[in-house]
């Protein structure tokens, strides 16, 4: 690696809820630098969540994030001419990034509605422990459990 490591940027909390996690969600939904459009999508989704759950949308979103964030994942490593799927624990920053990626992909896979409605329904299902994003997390956890025999290859 040449040069210095790039410093971590501090992300300011979002204006409506004062949450850094929601600000990061806005940034991960954003395409082509259109932040206001991404904010409209996220805030509309959280308004729908508040309306349907009759609860604070920030709490529902936190519950959804807890149900989607993975604890362990598998990494492919080549050992002696064979590739092994090695389970490793997931670092904190990567946990939230994977959770956002899975939530957004699950919302995008739904068809026929605006993005805010798709995201809201995925957040509500994830808060209940259901939905595509939670299923993705369970698949990753199951894969790591199945390959636990190869954990000794991790460095």
Q: Report pLDDT digits (tens) over 69-107.
A: 999 999 999 988 999 999 999 998 999 999 999 999 999
Residue 27 located in a structural domain: yes
| pLDDT at residue 1 is higher than 90 | no
Domain that holds residue 57: 20-153
- For residue 3, being part of any structural domain is answered with no
> What pTM value is reported for the model?
0.91
Q: What is the pLDDT of residue 153?
A: 83
Residue 83 φ then ψ, to 5°: -95, 130
Q: How many domains is the chain built from? A: 1
Q: For the domain that residue 135 is a member of, what is the CATH number?
A: 1.10.455.10
For position 152, what pLDDT does the model report? 86
Q: CA dist 151 to 80, 102, 113, 145, Å?
A: 15, 25, 43, 10
Q: Tell me whether residue 116 is in a domain.
A: yes
What's the rounded mean pLDDT across residues 26-31?
96
């Amino acid at each position: 690696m040449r040069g210095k490591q790039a410093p971590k940027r501090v992300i300011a909390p979002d204006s409506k809820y004062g949450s850094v996690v929601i600000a990061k969600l806005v940034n991960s939904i954003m395409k082509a630098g259109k932040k206001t459009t991404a904010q409209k999508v996220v805030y509309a989704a959280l308004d729908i969540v508040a309306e349907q759950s009759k609860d604070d949308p920030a709490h529902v979103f936190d519950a959804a994030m807890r149900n989607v964030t993975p604890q362990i994942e598998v990494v492919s490593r080549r050992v002696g001419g064979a590739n092994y799927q090695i389970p490793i624990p997931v670092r904190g920053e990567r946990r939230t990034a994977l959770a956002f990626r899975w939530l957004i992909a699950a919302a995008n896979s739904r068809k026929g509605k605006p993005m805010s409605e798709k995201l809201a329904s995925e957040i509500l299902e994830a808060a209940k422990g259901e939905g595509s994003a939670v299923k993705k997390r369970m698949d990753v956890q199951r894969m790591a459990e199945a390959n636990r025999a190869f954990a000794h290859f991790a460095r």
